[in-house]
Homo-oligomer: A and B are copies of this chain.
């Protein structure tokens, strides 16, 4: 047994509370190295004085998949007094060994202090995302490009709708009235959440360079229009999430302009990270910026005034407009202390608001219950894209990646992860798939059968094309004859299936089938209660046969897609 490869550590995805009495315990071992893992657990204070030994119980751990190097194991334990010590018995045909916090032992240590410790389940520390998120299907809208409902507020030099491919600087006049006009269409898809990229007053068409966090950009409408939009969405059972761009402001944010103008005398000079004065706003920017973008000066979120200002923004749009969530732009470059207070403010204003961070890397440090509810699940996006479109990875690598992703965070977080195939930041899924619509469908099926909360980027449902930004931000196609109705039907179908069958949304008993088959068929099952979902995705160019597993003989089997 390769002891060096065995890994466990409490209070992250390896040990976390799922309710006031229970915890999930996970373990990582070298792939194919251990045959059976038993969890040894008990209350730290249960002591048998006759035996001079800690009193413990045991339970089998469930094999939770493997990636390229490791196997994962999981068990759920219910505690008596919300306290837990635990260890592992690892077995293969050659060896049996106990793994504890202090190391490996041939015999189970009798002293509870040797074992791993989950000291106490305090309710307030339990990660508990809003109930509604895991069953929500999102629709992402880039407001400038979705629909133009009020041409009277078009920006200057707006181009006729869809008259040409967008450049970094083009405007077409998309607005809130346009979204409202199309709300029946949106609702007809079955989606129950709307994610809008930034809507506050800004300089660019993408609005990630805010001028005023307390104002709607006039090209989209005014506060009344926005309030009406939220109300109309809510009336249709659709939640609304806004984009919080708190890492940086725009160049034309008045406090930054004040520093440009007044330098050392500006009351705002500590609102940013200045290197020296006077400010140079060209490519030699002498202040911290997002990336190397001088028009996006990084905000000093540690400054008390900045923090108070932004936290008030967070609260204002919830309290006054009843929005349901915040998506946090460049979330990992803002300080943790800020996000901790942000969570308090947001959850106090609306206890079931959804807090979604944009973090492209391992995000566990933000997902400990004190900051975000979830992050944008880019690792899943990457795995799906690399397998189904670019062929960067093969079937085995894809399955490894999916297992790795499913074991990356607590299951409580997996259930609300934001699963996307593309966004305003990436080429469109159809274009990435070389216009192969069948490939797009496979990817959507993968997306919709994973735990989490899936999001459709506006227009993907009607087979819109688009390369990298800004091409992926083309105007929505509203001419019915140019819309792909077949894809539209497919998207509606999988949305409706996901809403109808809970098994689509959970991760219970997830397991890939036939991983060693040479064909390019991905198949996996999940199950809850009396439902089992079998997903079969043929990622080859050819028709392939798939033999239904024997266990389904004499079972009622429903073909949800083909029928």
Taking Cβ atoms with an 8 Å cutoff, the residues of A that contact B are 2-5, 7, 9-12, 30-31, 45, 68-70, 81-83, 101, 103, 113, 116-117, 119-120, 122-125, 288, 291-292, 301-302, 332-338, 340, 359-362, 364-365, 368-370
Contact = CB atoms under 8 A, between A and B. Distances in A.
15 contacts: A2-B5, A4-B4, A4-B30, A82-B288, A83-B333, A101-B361, A116-B362, A117-B361, A119-B332, A119-B359, A120-B332, A124-B302, A125-B336, A340-B340, A365-B368
Given A302-B124, A370-B337, A117 B332 contact: yes
A368 B12 CA distance: 13
Contacts of A124: 302, 335-338
Contacts of A9: 362, 364
Contacts of A45: 291-292
Contacts of A369: 336
Given A4-B31, A336-B125, A101 B301 contact: no
A359 B101 CA distance: 14
A381 to B, nearest CB: 12
Contact of A337 (B10, B83, B119, B125): B125
- Counting chain B CB atoms within 10 Å of each CB, the highest count among A12, A122, A361, A370 belongs to A361
Contacts of A333: 83, 119-120
A147 to B, nearest CB: 33
Contact of A5 (B4, B117, B365): B4
Contacts of A368: 365
Nearest to A120: B333
A124 B3 CA distance: 38
A116 B361 contact: yes
Contacts of A334: 120, 122
A122 B7 CA distance: 30
A101 B379 CA distance: 11
A369 B335 CA distance: 12
Contact of A370 (B82, B117, B288, B336): B336
Nearest to A359: B119
A336 B122 contact: yes
Nearest to A126: B335
Contacts of A301: 122
Nearest to A69: B4
A335 B10 contact: no
Contacts of A11: 364-365
The 3 closest A-B pairs by CB, nearest first: A122-B335, A4-B5, A117-B361
A235 to B, nearest CB: 35
B10 A7 contact: no
A270 to B, nearest CB: 12
Given A81-B288, A101-B361, A119-B359, 4 more contacts: A116-B361, A123-B302, A123-B335, A124-B335
Nearest to A71: B4
Given A4-B31, A103-B68, A302-B124, A117 B362 contact: yes
Contacts of A122: 301-302, 334-337
- Counting chain B CB atoms within 10 Å of each CB, the highest count among A5, A68, A332 belongs to A5
Nearest to A29: B4
A375 to B, nearest CB: 12
B113 A360 contact: yes
Contacts of A81: 288
Contacts of A69: 3-4, 103
A125 B335 contact: yes
A30 B30 CA distance: 13
A338 B291 CA distance: 36
Contacts of A31: 4
B340 A370 contact: yes
A335 to B, nearest CB: 3
Nearest to A291: B45
Contacts of A302: 122-124
Nearest to A404: B103
Contacts of A370: 336-337, 340, 370
Contacts of A113: 360-361
Contact of A362 (B68, B101, B359, B361): B101
A69 B301 CA distance: 42
